[in-house]
Amino acid sequence: MEKLELKYGCNPHQKPACLTRKDGGDLPLRVLNGRPGYINFLDALNAWQLVRELREAAGLPAAASFKHVSPAGAALGLPLTAEDRRAFFVTGDEPLSPLACAYIRARGADRLCSYGDWAALSDVCDADTARYLKDEVSDGVIAPGYTPEALAILKTKKKGGYSIVAMDPAYVPPQQECKDVFGITFEQGRNFVRIDESLLGNIVTESRDLPESARRDMIVALITLKYTQSNSVCYVFDGQTIGVGAGQQSRIHCTRLAGTKADNWFLRRHPKVLSLPFREGIRRPDRDNAIDCYLSGEEQDALLAEGSWQQTFTARPGPLTAAEKRAYLSRVSGVTVGSDAFFPFGDNVERARRSGVSYIVQPGGSIRDDHVIAAADKYGITMCFTGLRLFHH
């Protein structure tokens, strides 16, 4: 039986720790560099499943940015706009590979939460992707392979200690999975359910408008939710997540949390944010923190206080007021929201539409489905019931 010894488990005092296969076979992965830990591998293996399924469903390279066993972001490899490049700190204007675009967009979903992420790539990592990853604070990456140039670039990261894992793309796990909790073994059939457009046929609202772009975004939402700790809600726009609410005990809190993240994703494109006068040499994480503070009420006041802004900016920027935020966000539309279980009340729809949601995909099955449908009809939202719950624990 192949065994990969780990430094420790979830915490330093949890020793010994290792990876093995229950069936005694060889591990379907290789560590090419660094020393990934227990949580790193939990992120890596969940993220790998997500990007592999996105790749199969959409036919495009896919990437994910994982933190604490949930995606901070996931995306398809669609081209970056000029605005994307500014918001995601992409220097230069040369074309980038689809895989690089996928990771840049995945990390750009929530750059603050992606700090110290585990990256997952559906395709062989190329030099474009490696160069962008090299300048981000990241713990490691998993991919089916690496070009020689990409591997050489990544091996220089973290003083040569960056964790690089190659995953066998042909590996298929057993049908049955098990988990140990308090010395008791849980067993269940693995969640091999296929997510594709066949799930989107049951449109329950008066609006039946469901363009191809919205269908694609629904698939992105559902596959992302399949690997997000429940309860979870996911906002998607233009082939990428823009807000993930994971592991909340209340569905409305998921919707609010993810909606706030989606709002911030759009506000990062506000002209005032894109033109913030950062001091030369400010690191990307510091810029991300400053932007997050700038978009927050009390934190904006502290950031712009006399004597504080000089540490970050070359000139004191004007505030972004609540009225300016509302006016900017009022123009947003075409956003898709997905939920891993049914919306129990119409308040989820009310909150979602404030973040420009035009399309909703959820399992349905609440005793108040009629109220939820009525809320969607009130705003002309198109909603699909999939009949498929996607809890993940």
Residues marked active site are found at 67-68, 231, 393
Exposed/middle/buried for residue 92 (C-beta within 10 Å: 0-12, 13-18, 19+):
exposed
Instruction: Return the number of other C-beta atoms located less than 10 Å from residue 292's C-beta.
Output: 17
What's the one-letter identity of residue 379?
Y
User: Are the CB atoms for 324 and 294 separated by under 8 Å?
Assistant: no
SS3 of residue 237 by DSSP: strand
Distance CA 346, CA 349 (A): 5
Exposed/middle/buried for residue 271 (C-beta within 10 Å: 0-12, 13-18, 19+):
exposed
SS3 of residue 272 by DSSP: helix
Helix (H) or strand (E) holding 271: helix 271-274
Which of 78, 68, 139 shows the shortest CA–CA distance to 103?
A: 78
Backbone angles phi and psi of 167, in degrees to 5: -105, 135
Distance CA 232, CA 243 (A): 11
User: Are the CB atoms for 317 and 309 separated by under 8 Å?
Assistant: yes
Distance CA 317, CA 272 (A): 8
